[in-house]
Amino acid sequence: MANVILESARGIQPVPIEDELLRNRVIFLAGEVDRGSCAELITKLMYLDAQDPNKEITLYINSMGGSVQDGLAVYDLMKLIGSPIRTVCVGTCASMGAIIFLGGAKREMMEHGMVMVHDPSFSHLDIGGKKSHEIQSQLDDLNRCRESLALIISERTGKSLKEVYKVTAQDSYFNAHDAVEFGLATGIKEDRI
């Protein structure tokens, strides 16, 4: 990890750049949405909210998605804490990365950013040897998950569930302008970081 050099009462010290950004209430989700990345994100969000529940947190996201349950844990926490959260799409916010992006009160896109939404799918389902009621149970779980995610997208974009289901039936990519038009994003980032 890169360091920045800071001068303090203790003299000149190298400080991890991530620590300096955290001090300025800037955090990142880069890579897969999984238990580890979400635990780290939740820890940082809780820490920053405890420091000042009225001051904005900026979350930069570049993620192709991952675990629905881990991502929803982050999304739920984002809705519960007092600090307003601004999410910024840097690169691609796809699948659960897009759902976390939608958790921001302000949702900004970099000019060349992309958001991708779709229905959830079985990641590594092997139905060999399973009985029909076991397969049906897993399908029911998947459909409940689909409905939960569609409700989030509908609530955050203002689109009807019918419109959301039409878009999420396949991988739907939105560039910055299309994301703003659809309601996934609230604006395109034009001011300095």
**Is 134 among the domain residues?**
yes
> pLDDT by residue for the chain (193 residues), tens digit each?
576 676 767 777 777 788 888 999 999 999 999 999 999 999 999 999 999 999 999 999 999 999 999 999 999 999 999 999 999 999 999 999 999 999 999 999 999 999 999 999 876 666 777 788 887 888 888 899 999 999 999 999 999 999 999 999 999 999 999 999 999 999 998 877 6
The domain of 67 spans 17-123+130-188
pLDDT value at residue 169: 96
Predicted pLDDT at 2: 73
Residue 108 within a domain = yes
Coil vs helix vs strand at 147: helix
Residue 130 CB: number of other CB atoms within 10 A? 13
Place of tokens 């010290």: 13
**Tokens 């659809």 map to which residue?**
182
Residue 11 domain-assigned? no
The pLDDT value recorded for residue 129 is 76
**Beta carbons of 111 and 132 less than 8 angstroms apart:** no
Q: Is residue 2 part of a domain?
A: no
Q: In total, how many domains does the chain have?
A: 1
pLDDT at 63: 98
Query: How far is it, in rounded angstroms, from Cα 193 to Cα 191?
Result: 7
Asked if 91 and 65 touch (Cβ cutoff 8 Å), the reply is: no
The residue annotated as part of the active site, out of 37, 95, 121, 123, is: 95
Told to judge if 83 belongs to the known catalytic residues of this protein, a careful annotator would answer no
CATH of the domain at 44: 3.90.226.10
Inside any domain, residue 6 = no
Tell me, yes or no, if 177 is annotated catalytic. no
Structure tokens at 1: 């990890």
Which residue among the candidates 37, 63, 83, 118 is catalytic per the annotation?
Answer: 118
